[in-house]
Amino acid sequence: MNFRNIGENTALENAGCIITKRKKHRGQFSYLVTDGEGELEFESGKFMQIGEELRISGTVERQYGFLQIIKPKIEPAEGIYAGILAKTEENIKVKELPFLASGEIMDKLRPEIMLCAKKLLTAKAMGRHARLRFHNDADGITGALALTKVIRAHTHQQNSANYTVYDSMRDIGNLQSEKNPLVILLDFACGKDSVEGLKLLKASGAEVLIIDHHPNEGNAQENCSLLVNPWSVSREERASSYVAGYLSMEIARACGEDGVEKLAGIACAGDKSTILPVSKKDKEMAIVLDYMATYSGFGNKLDFYKNAIENKELYASVLVQAQESLDRITDEVKAHMKKRYDGPVSVYTIDTERIKSREFPGKGKITTRGFELVEGPAVVLGVWKNGLSFRINSGAIEKGVMANEIISALKKEMPDFIEGGGGHARAASLRIREGFVDSVVEKIIEKVKAA
Ligand SMILES: [Mn+2]
């Protein structure tokens, strides 16, 4: 006997179930519970939490059109959550649609995308507490906008590419009073510097989903329950171009959400991906989101961006400011960019400390601006006192020069100078001990010469 095919005037005896919803009703609480097959209601004066595991006895009767457990005898249960979650997941239907960006990588990634969609719909059906951390750029923000159409989540802006131990402590602290919470990490957390934080988060008992497109150097799948990352199905550099916002949009479509398609172009514009056509409007939207993300502090909620996009006047003003800031630096970038090596793949450096920019555009975007000015196979390095940013074009990639590979080699060869870093083949960054940036640049030039 399960909750789906139960009839009226049936006696339940010690039926295991999970609370999925709670309402105040006529001076007491009205609860919705699931056994993974179907749902029933009951009323009680006792306050209980969403996600609580129960064993219920009582008679099922129809009241106000709904099946209710009358005068239930409720006892706490233990160890039944995972089984009921699995049953719910089995019964959830997702939509199999053709992907907007076709190709082998997406075909191979389909099982993960469908499973992620199932897990989100399951979490929604079970009223699970969800916490979503999104990377602070246009890609991360649009991905979060797509996912929150499916499931209500507590959203937090992540201002670093790594899931640090600080981040995990904050999450674990915030989640300690929640039963069986779900954590979604979007557009970050696959690098080696995230491993320690992820291990701790996993140990706290939270279920963790990671949606990312950065090279999976930290083997994130070992420390989460599901990883959606094109690098799991491809070793090719173009895996990175299936950006996190695009993947999230496909996950939302599989969940049956319409109207999320327009987010994909913004995500692609933000991360310079060419898997989908990008309109002028997409590019502008990406600039606005990037600008806002640069100036907004830690822990920003997603509504901040949603409201700004919908407020036409604010949007227009931000766009003007952001474009002016980008234009202003172009001449300075030209003045401070130097060709350091002229060869089959050339190397340029830009001293970003000498460019008058406040926070926007940041060092990465200054490097991108320089990158847009060079021709032929090239590596552009934006440098500052304790770090550098890589931009590498297709001509150089074809000749085997890839930022993530250079970074792995540098971490082994210069472990005392390199303090961290990572990224894609085309775009990446490094933290370097102060005073040693020049030696690292020399080493990079040697590697490019040898390629
Ligand atoms: Mn991204």
Of the candidates 276, 19, 15, the residue with the CA atom closest to the CA atom of residue 139 = 276
The predicted-structure confidence for 219-256, as pLDDT tens digits, reads as follows 999 999 999 999 999 999 899 999 999 999 999 999 99
State pTM to two decimals: 0.90
CA of residue 242 to ligand 1 center, whole Å: 9
Q: What CATH number is associated with residue 64?
A: 2.40.50.140
CA of residue 358 to ligand 1 center, whole Å: 23
Same domain, yes or no: 124 and 256:
yes
CA of residue 243 to ligand 1 center, whole Å: 5
CA of residue 139 to ligand 1 center, whole Å: 5
Q: Lowest mean pLDDT: which of 175-184, 358-367, 431-440?
A: 358-367
Structure tokens of 239? 């895996």
Give the structural domain span for 279: 92-310
Give domain status of residue 434, yes or no: yes
Same domain, yes or no: 73 and 98:
no
Q: What CATH number is associated with residue 235?
A: 3.90.1640.30
Give domain status of residue 253, yes or no: yes
Asked whether 37 and 3 are in contact (CB, 8 A), the reply is yes
CA of residue 140 to ligand 1 center, whole Å: 6
CA of residue 415 to ligand 1 center, whole Å: 27
DSSP-derived pairing of the beta strands 53-63 and 130-135: unpaired
Same domain, yes or no: 48 and 176:
no
Give domain status of residue 1, yes or no: no
Beta carbons within 10 angstroms of residue 276's beta carbon: 18
Same domain, yes or no: 52 and 133:
no
Spatial separation of the C-alpha atoms in residues 120 and 260, rounded to whole Å: 16
Q: Which residue, of 48, 78, 108, is where some domain finishes?
A: 78
Which comes out higher in pLDDT, residue 158 or 357?
158
Same domain, yes or no: 224 and 357:
no
Same domain, yes or no: 103 and 244:
yes
Q: Which residue, of 50, 78, 106, is where some domain finishes?
A: 78
CA of residue 268 to ligand 1 center, whole Å: 9
The predicted-structure confidence for 302-353, as pLDDT tens digits, reads as follows 988 998 888 999 999 999 999 998 888 888 999 999 999 999 999 999 999 9
Phi, psi (degrees; rounded to nearest 5) at 278 = -120, 125
The predicted-structure confidence for 389-398, as pLDDT tens digits, reads as follows 999 999 999 9
- DSSP H or E run through 280: helix 280-295
CA of residue 138 to ligand 1 center, whole Å: 8
Question: To 5 degrees, how large is the angle CA 255–CA 257–CA 262?
Answer: 125
Give domain status of residue 2, yes or no: no
Spatial separation of the C-alpha atoms in residues 192 and 194, rounded to whole Å: 5
Same domain, yes or no: 188 and 61:
no
Q: Which residue, of 78, 108, 136, is where some domain finishes?
A: 78
CA of residue 159 to ligand 1 center, whole Å: 13
Structure tokens of 320? 């003007």
Same domain, yes or no: 305 and 433:
no
Asked whether 194 and 229 are in contact (CB, 8 A), the reply is no
Same domain, yes or no: 43 and 100:
no
Same domain, yes or no: 97 and 230:
yes
* Number of domains making up the chain: 3
CA of residue 180 to ligand 1 center, whole Å: 28
Same domain, yes or no: 117 and 251:
yes
CA of residue 271 to ligand 1 center, whole Å: 6
Asked whether 209 and 194 are in contact (CB, 8 A), the reply is no
Give domain status of residue 84, yes or no: no
CA of residue 198 to ligand 1 center, whole Å: 19
Give domain status of residue 3, yes or no: no
Spatial separation of the C-alpha atoms in residues 391 and 365, rounded to whole Å: 10
